[in-house]
Amino acid sequence: GGGVVAGEAGGGNKVLDDPDFSFIKALQTAQQNFVVTDPSLPDNPIVYATQGFLSLTGYTLDQVLGRNCRFLQGPDTDPRAVEKIRKAIEEGSDMSVCLLNYRVDGTTFWNQFFIAALRDAGGGITNYVGVQCKVSDKYAANVCRRQEEADRRAARGDKGEDNDDGDGGGDYDDDGDD
């Protein structure tokens, strides 16, 4: 009882299963910036957002609930990064990518974004969790360069041997100085 409950179009509510609910609680405890979306609703809208997400982006809860996360994109957001996110959602796979996002006031921040599918007991996707981590310009430059190299290798059909998952390995800018 008492957890993240997402409204459902057909009436009734679905409560996230225990393992996934524990994941949400862990993120809350870690004070992560994240949103939960509901892919059963049109355009996979945000149904939950943490205060950290609101503080990071400058939006209010009323401004984000019911909207797709793409409002964080802007003119300089790399469309290839956006396509990777779209593809991961389409495939129901977890992934991480670094991209430039925009706050409500138009200022930008580099976001090491992680998305994970939350599943019910039958393996069906009930929600997605999107975790935002503001990173330094230097970190983003390194990660973006590696992402571009991996994209070029993939385009050539070269698997490469570095097995880099693109997470950058560290340098998160969570010192709160914005």
Query: What SS3 string covers 107-174?
Result: CEEEEEEEEEEEECCCCCEEEEEEEEEEECHHHHHHHHHHHHHHHHHHHHCCCCCCCCCCCCCCCECC
Average pLDDT on 109-123 reads 92
Tens of pLDDT, residue by residue over 47-59, are 999 999 999 999 9
Average pLDDT on 141-146 reads 87
User: Which residue carries 């994240």 as its tokens?
Assistant: 34
Average pLDDT on 105-127 reads 93
C-alpha to C-alpha distance for 24 and 29, rounded to whole angstroms: 9
C-alpha to C-alpha distance for 81 and 87, rounded to whole angstroms: 10
Prediction pTM value: 0.71
Average pLDDT on 75-90 reads 94
- Which pLDDT value is given to residue 160? 53
Pairing of strands 33-37, 108-119: unpaired
DSSP annotation of 140? H
State yes or no: pLDDT of 135 exceeds 70: yes
State yes or no: pLDDT of 99 exceeds 80: yes
Residues 6 or more apart from 2 whose CB is under 8 A from it? none
Mean confidence (pLDDT) of the chain: 80
Percent of the chain residues topping a pLDDT of 70: 71
